[in-house]
Structures are given as C-alpha cells and as structure tokens.
Structure 1
Amino acid sequence: MESLINNEDFLDSVLNLKKTHLNEGFKDRFNDGFISGKEEGREVGLKQKHGFEIGEELGFYHGFIDIWNPAIKIDPNFISSRVQKNIKQMEELICKYPILDPENVSIEEIMNGLSLKIRAISATMGLRLEHEGYPKASEIKEIEF
C-alpha cells in the first residue's frame, strides 16, 4: 500500500512540476513584457509630446500667415514684395509638411526652413517674434508694421 501512495505522490509531483515550470515561465515572460511595455510606452509618449510641440509650432507659423495674407489683399503695398515672397514660401512649406508621415526625412528641413523664413520676415519688418509655446497676454506687446 505504501508503494501505491509513493507512486501517486511521484505522479502528483511530476504533474505539479510541469505546472510549476509553466507558472514560472509565465511570470518571467510577463515581467519581461511589462518592462519592455513600459519602455515602449515611454518612447511613444515622448514621440507624442514631440508631435504636439511640432504641431504647436506649425500653428504658430500658420497663424502669422493667416494674419499677413488678408493684410496684403487689403493693401498690397503694406508689406514689401520681398516679405510677401517669404510669406508665400512659408505657406508652401506648411502645405508640404507631411502630417500623416511623422517619420518623413523632410520634416527637419521643412521646420528649419520655416524658422529661417519667420526670422527673415521678423528682421525685415523689425518684429520680435519667437515661438516659445503659448504666449501670455502680459508678454504680448504692440506690434507695428
């Protein structure tokens, strides 16, 4: 009878060994997946934050175009032809921006071009324009053209 009990214990331990290894393997893979998931989530979050900042900057540039174009239509001599050309080029760069392709290699070139255009326009018109996020009302000074 004792040998029968030992055989059952042995079979139980063999079955439990398989279950124990499955549980340990699951825990190991779960922990590995949790760590890699946190790293991947952090990476995605950083990309989204960067995407938001780029969108904010594009909106900043587009806002100036939305102001300057109607002013030019009302009075074409209001802004010099050189500045008008830069404004048109800014508008073209914004239209070229690949919104649906964040991995596109031309993004940096477009953003640099927009930054250079806004600096050229600002310098020519004697404006101090900078993009540092949302401007506060107390920081906005009267702008004369």
Structure 2
Amino acid sequence: MESVQSNFLEDIFDSSLNLEETHMKEGFKEGYNEGLVAGREDARQLGLKLGFETGELLGFYRGCVCIWNSTIRVCISPQLQKHIREFEEWIDKYPLLDPEDESVDKKKDDLRVKFNVICASLGVVKKKLEYKGYPKVSSELDF
C-alpha cells in the first residue's frame, strides 16, 4: 500500500516538475507553425515585388528594342544591328517561368551591360532613357 501511495505522489509531482519543459515544447511547436505561415507570406510578397520589378524592366527593354528595330532599316550600322538582335534574343530567353534559376541575376546584369553598349553606340544620353521603375507613392500629396 505504501509503495502505491509513493508511486501516486511521484506521478503527481512528475507532471508539475515537467510543466516548464512541456510548456516550452508546446510554445516552440506553436511558434514554429506560426513562423512557417508568416515566412510563406513574406516570401510570397517578396516574390511578387521582385517579379513585378523584373517584368517592368524587361518590358522597358522590349520597348527600346521595338524602337531600335524600327530605325535599323534607316541608319544603324551592321555591328549595332547585331547587338540589338542579341539583346532581343536575350530578352526572349530570360527565364521568366523558372523562379529557381540561379543565373537570373547574371542574366539581368548581362542585359544591363548590353543595353548600355547599345545606348552608347547610338549616342543616346543614358540619363534621358534610363529606366527608373514604377513611380513611388509618397505619403504626402503634392498639389
């Protein structure tokens, strides 16, 4: 009878001694699950932002190529025509649908370099043609 009573008391105290550890495990599990949800949403927002910026930049480049192609027939050297055709091919081959392609940053840099070469060859003042992205919304309205 005495051993049953001592086992019963040990069981009661075991649960209170392990209370802190139990709460830590539950808190960790809860925090981990909430972190997964928050992390997915943050990643989604970042992906949308970067995807939009990339789309804007490629659209700007595509517009420049369209203008340059319309002037090719008039007054552009064969070497510059080659640069413009390569630039257009690079835009077409940009991996828009492969978000895990690790070479996208290098390809974007290559596009910028080729764009600068073409602009310099055309004598275009880069400041006037530079892509500035979507206008930022200010917190104060200017009237």
TM range (shorter): 0.5 to 0.7
Question: Aligned with 1:133: secondary structure?
Answer: coil
CA distance in 1, matches of 2:134, 2:92: 22
Deviation at 1:30, TM superposition (A): 4.4
Deviation at 1:82, TM superposition (A): 2.0
CA distance in 2, matches of 1:134, 1:90: 23
Which range moves more in the overlay, 89-98 or 62-71?
62-71
- Write the deviation string for residues 15-58 of structure 1: whole angstroms up to 9, x where unpaired: xxxxxxxxx88886444322321122112211221111111111
CA distance in 2, matches of 1:105, 1:93: 16
Match of 1:78 among 72, 75, 80: 75
Where does residue 138 of structure 1 map in the other structure? Answer: none
Deviation at 1:70, TM superposition (A): 2.3
CA distance in 1, matches of 2:118, 2:76: 10
Residues 1:103 and 2:100 aligned together: yes
Q: Residue type matched to 1:130 in 2?
A: E
CA RMSD of aligned residues (A): 2.7
CA distance in 2, matches of 1:113, 1:27: 48
Deviation at 1:78, TM superposition (A): 1.6
Deviation at 1:98, TM superposition (A): 1.3
1:117-132 superposed matches below 5 A = 117-127=114-124, 128=126, 129-132=129-132
CA distance in 2, matches of 1:124, 1:27: 62
Question: Aligned with 2:75: secondary structure?
Answer: coil
**Contiguous gaps of at least 5 residues in structure 1:** 1-23, 136-145
CA distance in 2, matches of 1:42, 1:126: 43
CA distance in 2, matches of 1:105, 1:33: 28
**Contiguous gaps of at least 5 residues in structure 2:** 1-22, 136-143
TM-score computed with the length of structure 2 as normaliser:
0.66
Matched residue count: 114
Deviation at 1:116, TM superposition (A): 0.8
TM-score computed with the length of structure 1 as normaliser:
0.65
Report percent identity of matched pairs.
Answer: 39
CA distance in 2, matches of 1:92, 1:110: 12
